């Protein structure tokens, strides 16, 4: 079981994501999230995937794409740090990813399957990381981050966005 990372293992920005996870065993949470999140998105119509609660905000489809993008980046960071990457890892521009992703052109089911595939990959990677490797720390976006913190960030990021989808987009 992975213990909660200390505040020295991640940038302050990620603290709220890690707080969302709390004391829940993070790898168990990542497994449990999958059917819940898939069910939430599979219950939506194509029209609902285009919904924005405000014209300047992302559509539901774009939120899902952002969840996929972020998990891919964070899992890649976890892999690279676990393998003792010595080079600092770059940040990423989440808005540019969405703007350049042509998200609205994709069928919602493709996005849903993409999320499912990425989560399975994230969980598979977790089994290829030793307990000692989870404690390794690298640099990403100019901040120190541990492998275990990245797994907490992935889980907390999903919790953050599913809460926004329920609260602001009124998705149940």
Task: State pLDDT tens for residues 59-86.
Answer: 999 999 999 999 999 999 999 999 999 9
Q: Is residue 1 part of a domain?
A: no
Q: What is the pLDDT of residue 172?
A: 85
Residue 52 sits in which domain range?
A: 7-167
To the nearest whole number, what is the mean pLDDT of the chain?
97
Number of folded domains in the chain? 1
**Mean pLDDT score, 90-119:** 96
User: In a 10 Å sphere around its CB, with 0-12 CB exposed, 13-18 middle and 19+ buried, how is residue 24 labelled?
Assistant: middle
Kindly report the CATH number assigned to the domain that includes residue 92.
Answer: 1.20.120.450
> What percent of the chain stands above pLDDT 70?
100
Q: Is residue 172 part of a domain?
A: no
pLDDT digits (tens, 9 = 90+) for 119-149: 999 999 999 999 999 999 999 999 999 999 9
Rounded to 10 degrees, the C-alpha dihedral 39/40/42/44 comes to 160
């Amino acid at each position: 079981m992975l213990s909660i990372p200390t505040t020295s293992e991640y940038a302050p920005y990620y603290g709220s994501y890690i707080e969302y996870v709390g004391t829940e065993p993070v790898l168990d949470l990542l497994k449990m999230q999958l059917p819940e999140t898939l069910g939430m998105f599979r219950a939506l119509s194509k029209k609902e995937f285009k919904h924005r609660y405000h014209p300047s905000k992302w559509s539901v489809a774009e939120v899902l794409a952002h969840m996929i993008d972020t998990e891919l980046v964070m899992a890649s960071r976890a892999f690279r740090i676990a393998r003792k990457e010595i080079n600092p890892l770059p940040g990423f521009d989440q808005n540019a990813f969405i703007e350049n992703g042509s998200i609205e052109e994709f069928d919602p089911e493709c996005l849903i399957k993409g999320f499912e595939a990425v989560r399975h990959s994230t969980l598979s990677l977790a089994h290829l990381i030793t307990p000692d490797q989870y404690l390794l720390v690298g640099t990403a976006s100019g901040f120190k981050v541990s492998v275990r913190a990245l797994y907490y960030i992935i889980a907390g990021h999903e919790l953050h966005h599913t809460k926004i989808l329920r609260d602001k987009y009124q998705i149940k």
